[in-house]
Structure 1
């Protein structure tokens, strides 16, 4: 029987996550594919789902993990563009931390030659969200200044990468020297430690004319000084509240709306998952294919900072929770050679 990581109870200590044998996959729907999983990306929403703090509550038992890369083992009767044996990556509602998984054929993409399976597994969530936020929502233009809060996380480093590819000057904010070094390596033009420095004063110094776009996946106490630093007509993109704050409520900042009025500043939400569903994945699919071409041409340089063995899955969740993670992390469910 295949194995999977099963969440047996909602628990922020992650002790309820257990590696168990699970039943074989059921018969496929006509538009579904079965995949032998190689790698599963782990992101902050996975932590929230297991802890019972996500927007949509998951009822245990369930298998966490929403982004995978693997080898196709079966296809539904109506699937024409994907063949058994091909290496693909994609998003699923849950079930990624397993040796076998089922996805909708319309939600997967073929892994380009030369792209590592872990990079592929961790690509769509961070890069799909960020490309949508910067290109579709904020309409970031070449020559503009982009401020990225929480820039050393998976979404933050994707924002640096995409921002530079779109021709922006990128200012990265993070909380430690090693995190800022990762931002520099990713291409950030300016780096600010917003724990040690006054963010408002630092931004006034490095961008005296103001910021054009703020990309904020963390929330908390840094959101307001970032909004105050926007240029006239600047755009503030709300992506998430990963900072946690001193209490859960502190992570969601309360913003004086006169800030939007006085500078004609735009506060824009980026809910990639909901947009992707409502748009039936049409716009997202175009974005992903566009970015895959940018990866192959060298314009984008996604990477994974750490890969955990399958049996160390709990460590991946703990590291994310305790802010020990820089960039994207994945759990290697199996090696590519073991699946050939």
Structure 2
């Protein structure tokens, strides 16, 4: 290992698994909160509806209920506002346009479960051994930071976000702060051994600013890890072209761009990190099916969770579609069609992570 800060990244698309599916194309997907609360037997029964011969190991490995209660964990009336029945951060209006209410917190916690499956139960892929100081940018509910602090009891873990919606840490080595990591100065009195970012596509005007700050505040030999998906759909047979799903993803990027956020820049993360000074870059590409159509057990499981996560994202991203110029009736029609496509496991589609 050199003495320069390092970087590890998980994103971009790999090859897609192929093969016909004999499963029911109209199988229902559970809502995130239902899955989080469900016992393994109930989850196993749901998966069994898709597969006439469910694999026992596939069913039993499903994550159990989370300790965080559903809904608000730390609500502050002074830094939130209501719009169309959803609640948004008001610490820096316009800097982040997804909700921060209980429904969104459940979605974020479920997305954490998806990442756990994609990463084979690991919180980080970077070869960190005994970090002293770690930072998670855009910590959301704080579930990753809390888990990381428990796994590394001698590490001081800091999570920053525009919303104070984090659960109370179960250990004393984890703290959360209100901060805009892009526009505000980093005032940490220590050097960072590890910086973690996840699902940051709609968050920054220019993520290069964040990468430069991370480099300048990192200890020699430190690591930065970006875990993210690219906002594109692929298929094994080209059937995704012209789909409602493809249009939905494209319009979300258009809406985000109208607010100064270029979500396609995640593809250039490697380039931007090199510009910031990072070395020894590792780019890991993982295909994530949009439903459990794949024969491979791991990819089938990823598809189940990714499909459910995508369904849960339809509601919070409606605002982005409005930014793209769609009328409410057009948004409703598009979201309805995307939902139908996500429920159809005859469509062998996948996204890149």
TM-score for both structures, normalised by structure 1? 0.43
TM-score for both structures, normalised by structure 2? 0.42
Report the structure, 1 or 2, having the larger strand content: 1
